[in-house]
Structure 1
């Protein structure tokens, strides 16, 4: 990250539309302009988008910077909770699934779970809540067992940004009905709430009889100009799915994954899973190292909620000497404009690879300045379908732009096997009656 005192260019959306992300304060020395840039959406409810420079979602980002931001946020949580809290952590889909995992790893949390928009009927949903301004509003919680989140340990809720705090409060209410606890912490990269929003969170805490603390890397204020929704609507139609002078290539790398090692936090990631997960990441990275040219830059692109595993793979490549950036695809449509000072310079719309999904998906930028990078697209088994390779799919739109793609398919994980293994571990040992045959 750059120095807080560095001179930064005025963002395009600030200069031309008056959309300003103002810095208010920070306990970390980081500033709002360092952490987020103003982007735009054609959405009648909310026309602005906070584009994080350290999240690895919309903008290709140094994986070390992504992990570092999560570590710093985790340290702030630890300072609030103290050394013996032993918390559980919840990350919000889709944007903060990787960030939440980074925070949980830093805290050595007993359990990490992220909300999901991918229904796994075999596992079932233990709770749910809504997100007001999101493109996809419904969140489901699908741990292998509700017992993973029971007890009175503090619950840390992690999101990339807190704009009003309403989503966090809705999640707290839903979880508190299922399992009351005394303390919650809301952790975010940036906190953009107004005082009225803070008062509403305090009122909810008083109503529930709980303590809700908030921590962030920086506190800011979103200054919205009048008529922004109309101003964004009047901008030229965005140009998506650019076509290059040549068609890129596609290669496939199959990456086996242990059936009972969670590939992320969708069904709960326990502290005891860490060692086997790290070993599986090392093996997966070795497969990629054999397939990549170390002289060529790499952009590792995760798929929606699958953020932490691709992030760790990107970090492993960087440790091996590759020039690497990390980002993921998203459900969220954003306004693309190829202008200096605007963070979403290039965009792709493609068919969701999962069978049964109707809404399009997006990926932004996915390029290396002034060099021809290879994209390593990391997907799981549910996304490994004909829709992925068909016309209009992710591989089609990326290669049409001239991008070479290495498709890394991580398969083998089975949530039902994971649930059975956890149940077997948690079950008390069988005892034998005195005098019975052994």
Structure 2
């Protein structure tokens, strides 16, 4: 990537060395591996979180920034190529980390399946379905700390891989210590009544960050990433008090089962829309629901549109750096938390904005309808509110 294409708040100080100037601090990064240049993978911002003030904002994750579908599929394929296919490893369980990595994780799983892999995919969630829960674990540095992993039914998991897996592949957007992924595997192993060391434990991430506190590397059988490096963040401003962390899942409503109870084959594309060649279309997923919106964006682009995909999030991020515009509103699911959509301003420049709803449709008075040229796409069986 040429220096001219770097964001104005980012400079390359030397080969593999970057510095991002943010409203409340300076983030310095030193890379030891870049399968793709770091600025193609991520940008940077400040998040409203007392435990970690800065945020690596992925350009290819379809979360805080609009992402071209081919870009996400490319990085997912690169990660999938690093994950071996060996029947000797026994049953394989893929786990996508809510909410940020759910779209990436299923895309990695789909690419791995296309290479001939067979296994079960499931996502952690902060939205109970009302079905049985296998176990819970905590992501301590997140604003919404609690994760659930539901128990698959025989229809979701016909080969009973969830209870027999000998290999667990956790997919996340980035990792520093890897403790959250290890906590997930430890909780899963405890639920099964086995030692975590009896499992082949793998972590696949876009970005791997090394720190002095890095003490968990030897506990993974394999650690896959596209970029690796270290960072230093120096605060230069005064931060407003961060909103309190949410220690429990939001049980105000029940989510669709979807991927939350596992699946043995990637989800299909549920919509077929008419498209005008050359139209600029933004496809928006809702919270943890992003893989089928990605499929839609890819399908629209294959038929002549220029498409992007991203999703709403409950992660509070401050304006500045990679975050040029912030929308906040009551959760689209009807639950009690606040939800955000980043970088979709009033003059967004899209010909169509397609909001893909997993379960409850937002009422007509919901602020999401303030987005110009918005169309709401329900899944079959979606309830009106």
TM-score tier by shorter-chain length is 0.7 to 0.9
SS at match of 2:141: coil
2:261 is equivalent to residue 267 of structure 1: yes
5 Å matches for 1:117-128?
117-121=126-130, 123-128=131-136
Aligned residues: 346
2:183 is equivalent to residue 170 of structure 1: yes
5 Å matches for 1:289-438?
289=274, 292-337=275-320, 342-355=321-334, 357-366=335-344, 371-381=349-359, 383-384=360-361, 388-395=362-369, 397-398=370-371, 403-412=372-381
The structure with the greater share of residues assigned to helix is 1
User: Given the two structures, how large is their TM-score scaled by the length of structure 2?
Assistant: 0.82
Instruction: Name the CA shift for 1:313/1:51 in 2 (closer, same or farther; >3 Å).
Output: same
Deviation at 1:138, TM superposition (A): 0.6
Which blocks of at least 5 consecutive residues in structure 1 are unaligned?
206-210, 235-261, 415-438
Deviation at 1:201, TM superposition (A): 4.5
Tell me if the contact between 1:97 and 1:307 (Cα under 8 Å) persists in the aligned partners. Answer: yes
Instruction: Name the CA shift for 1:372/1:175 in 2 (closer, same or farther; >3 Å).
Output: closer
Tell me if the contact between 2:41 and 2:58 (Cα under 8 Å) persists in the aligned partners. Answer: yes
What value does the CA root-mean-square deviation take over the aligned residues?
2.7
Instruction: Name the CA shift for 1:57/1:354 in 2 (closer, same or farther; >3 Å).
Output: same
SS at match of 2:142: coil
Distance of 2:99 and 2:179 partners within structure 1: 17
Which blocks of at least 5 consecutive residues in structure 2 are unaligned?
11-18, 242-255
Deviation at 1:152, TM superposition (A): 4.0
Match of 2:141 among 133, 141, 146: 133
Structure 2 partner of 1:218: 227
Distance of 1:212 and 1:5 partners within structure 2: 37
5 Å matches for 1:204-283?
205=219, 211-225=220-234, 227-228=235-236, 230-233=237-240, 264-271=258-265, 274=266, 277-278=267-268, 281=269
The structure with the greater share of residues assigned to strand is 2
Instruction: Name the CA shift for 1:368/1:321 in 2 (closer, same or farther; >3 Å).
Output: farther
Instruction: Name the CA shift for 1:114/1:5 in 2 (closer, same or farther; >3 Å).
Output: same
Distance of 1:376 and 1:331 partners within structure 2: 19
Structure 1 partner of 2:26: 19
Cα deviation 1:73-115 (Å, max 9, x = unaligned): 111122xx65754522000000111111011112214110000
